[in-house]
Structure 1
Amino acid sequence: MRKKITIRDIAKAANVSVTTVSFVLNNKGEKKGISQEVIKKVFKVSEEMKFKLNMIASSLRTGKTRSIGLIVEDISNQFFSDLARVIEREAIDLNYRVFYCSTGGDDERAAELVNSLLQANVDGFIITPTENMKETIDRLLELQCPVVLLDGYFEGQDVSHVVLDNFDGAQTATQFLLKKGFKKIAFVTNSSQLIQMNLRKQGYTNALKEVGLYDESRILDLEYHIGEEQRIEKISEFLSNTTEIDAVLFGANYLLLAGLQSLRKLDLKIPSDKAVISFDDHDSFRLHSPSITVLSQPIEEMGKKTVRLLMKQMNEGSVYKIEKEKKKGSLTIRESV
């Protein structure tokens, strides 16, 4: 029978004290002033020796489960699944498990998921908030649960978040279309009150107003909760009735996925009939012929920063200072413009 690996074995192999190993594996290394070099060494040795913390015993002793609740809008959307992949990788490196949940943009579902994860005693939350989730987040703050918001936030709420500079992103994409000679640029978005969507609309509007080309009739606000077929129908109707449009900025990748089908349905060619740019990349956009220009979010950077902020909050407790991060996107230029 194989001998059970203990913390003492890890300490001996890493040439550090048992206390140091205990602090590191319970994610208290930084707080206790242990160097990054030693922390990495302990994790590496414990991994090599196939050491697993006894989660039940550990949680009973410390009140911690070494788990994170990750609540996103839609795990099947590539933007969120790519973010989740980065977050899980970073968490695993720190010996944490991640519980995934999708809200589908439903506020009630979001509140239920938070309650379920609270009952599961997760140590912290990473959330891409739904439209009316402010009260649920307030409750987590009252309970002093570590929480970091990702991709969106609520104005006036004092909570750490990591988001894209959405205003700048939409403005950059619109200005790029203007430089390429397009003047009748449409914007397809959804009518939710999520701050990121509103800022994208503001960035688009500002870029066109600066050159005197803004026209409100070129904005299509779709209801968020309609199905794919209805989206295709509404976009088709919009493009048919607003025939002078020469370029379209789509406010999210799922909107462009519907938009591509609408363009095909109307027998409109990209970019000769309409140039297109989308927020957020998708594997199919690279494979599409012509390939699609996108305003990409720095997913790797955002995922890593979110986990770092959550860990810092969990370690520092009441002395933790709220941090609000805004990341710049980048235009990935392909053939659709």
Structure 2
Amino acid sequence: MSINEIAKHLNVSKSTVSLVINGKAEQGRISQALAERILTYVQEIGYKPNVFAKSLATGRSHTIGLIVENISDSFYGPIALHIEKYLRKIGYHVFYSSTLGSIELGNTIVETMLDKKVEGLIVCPTNQMETSLEAIQKQQIPLVIFDRKAGDMATNYVGTDNYGGSLLAVDHLLENGFQQIGLVTNDSTQSQMIDRLNAYTDKLSQEGFHATILRLDFQADALEKAEQIKVFLRENPQLDALYFTTNYLCIAGLKAIQALNREGSYAIISFDDHELFELLQPAISCVEQPVAQIAQEAINLLFKQKKSPDLPLQQVIIPSKLIKRKSTC
């Protein structure tokens, strides 16, 4: 039942019902007897306010939009959970959505979030998503980008030190005597992937070693990736170590190595941990991204901008952590 229907049933004005429901009876000079009659009826019928309509009237929805590439991913899922926990503590809710790397889907999601009157957005952008992000900024809605940059856009940003983390991985392999290090990455032009690639090529060039790189189609499925990695390994028998720039590429690589019966033939390290890596034999070394800290910093930046819209934009770069396991030792 709507406020309008309640007002008709009680033979009072819609504004009177609204004032009472929102705890403003005294402010509206409504008698205690009338206020009690309205509240009693509202309780009897189990009335629940339309949150969306209320947000239109007050400009407050107490919701934050979170847009990621894939909510089921072992990186984005935990970040989303941490964001939800932090926001719940301060009385906010989260609208989640996944772009699946699609520009069109990403733009549609932003439009939907804005229609829902979210009070801020935390976004892991797709390529060429700048137009939608600029629309958020034009509406003066707080915006924080995380994980990868949105082209050359000036935004609040939170992310891992991808270049530094990648150097940790390559340095670790070199320090353990591995010199023929193959890199398995994807053909993405996203900033975080470029940084991981550049750290690898820069370090090997500096040390006088040859870079051997496999760039996989970002859109290829896991089976296709594993098949291409098998070909890469057959064509490069000199390799003694493999560095995978994401955990899902590492998993595809492990399947390829198993299919070739080459378990134990390579030192293996991944950028990004995965719950499986510690359980495998040998356990897989990795560069770990601090997901809880990324989530907290994103929320901090968002609410700073919400409180003080004229504050200068900030970029928070968080160091990664090298986790040494038996696959590289």
Match in the other structure for 2:122: 126
Match in the other structure for 2:311: 320
Greater mean deviation of Cα atoms: 151-160 or 70-79:
151-160
Structure-2 change in CA distance of 1:136 and 1:54 (3 Å):
closer
AA partner of residue 320 (structure 2): G
Structure-2 change in CA distance of 1:210 and 1:290 (3 Å):
same
Q: What SS does structure 2 have at the residue aligned with 1:153?
A: coil
Q: 1:311, CA displacement in angstroms?
A: 1.2
Match in the other structure for 2:322: 331
Q: Describe how 1:1-337 pairs up with structure 2 within 5 A.
A: 55=51, 59-215=55-211, 218-270=212-264, 273-317=265-309, 319-337=310-328
**Which has the larger Rg?**
2
Matches of 1:88 and 1:155, distance apart in 2: 27
AA partner of residue 134 (structure 1): E
Matches of 2:319 and 2:284, distance apart in 1: 20
Q: 1:146, CA displacement in angstroms?
A: 1.1
- Do the aligned residues in 2 keep the contact of 1:131 with 1:192 (CA within 8 Å)? no
Matches of 2:200 and 2:165, distance apart in 1: 9
Matches of 2:50 and 2:135, distance apart in 1: 31
AA partner of residue 87 (structure 2): A
Matches of 2:311 and 2:89, distance apart in 1: 22
Q: 1:142, CA displacement in angstroms?
A: 2.0
- Cα deviation per residue 1:248-294 (whole Å; 9 max; x = unaligned)? 11010111111110110011113xx1011001111111111111101
- Do the aligned residues in 1 keep the contact of 2:127 with 2:150 (CA within 8 Å)? no
Matches of 1:135 and 1:55, distance apart in 2: 29
- Cα deviation per residue 1:113-170 (whole Å; 9 max; x = unaligned)? 1111111111111111112212221222222221100101135311001011111111
Match in the other structure for 2:41: none
Q: What SS does structure 2 have at the residue aligned with 1:100?
A: strand
Structure-2 change in CA distance of 1:294 and 1:53 (3 Å):
farther
Match in the other structure for 2:11: none
Greater mean deviation of Cα atoms: 149-158 or 281-290:
149-158
Matches of 2:115 and 2:49, distance apart in 1: 21
Q: 1:185, CA displacement in angstroms?
A: 0.3
Matches of 2:296 and 2:138, distance apart in 1: 26
AA partner of residue 229 (structure 2): I
Matches of 1:53 and 1:98, distance apart in 2: 19
Q: What SS does structure 2 have at the residue aligned with 1:220?
A: strand
Matches of 1:200 and 1:257, distance apart in 2: 18
- Do the aligned residues in 1 keep the contact of 2:55 with 2:117 (CA within 8 Å)? no
Matches of 2:238 and 2:72, distance apart in 1: 35
Q: What SS does structure 2 have at the residue aligned with 1:98?
A: strand
Greater mean deviation of Cα atoms: 195-204 or 319-328:
319-328
AA partner of residue 334 (structure 1): R
Aligned length: 284
Q: What SS does structure 1 have at the residue aligned with 2:121?
A: strand
Matches of 1:107 and 1:331, distance apart in 2: 33
Matches of 2:237 and 2:134, distance apart in 1: 46
Q: 1:207, CA displacement in angstroms?
A: 1.2
AA partner of residue 138 (structure 2): E
Structure-2 change in CA distance of 1:7 and 1:293 (3 Å):
farther
Unaligned runs of 5+ in 2: 1-20, 24-47
Q: What SS does structure 1 have at the residue aligned with 2:172?
A: helix
AA partner of residue 316 (structure 1): S
Q: What SS does structure 1 have at the residue aligned with 2:277?
A: helix
AA partner of residue 323 (structure 2): T
RMSD: 1.8
Structure-2 change in CA distance of 1:192 and 1:54 (3 Å):
same
- Do the aligned residues in 2 keep the contact of 1:276 with 1:293 (CA within 8 Å)? yes
Q: What SS does structure 1 have at the residue aligned with 2:276?
A: helix
Unaligned runs of 5+ in 1: 1-5, 9-51
TM, length-normalised to structure 2: 0.83
- Cα deviation per residue 1:54-87 (whole Å; 9 max; x = unaligned)? 8457524421101011010111111110111111
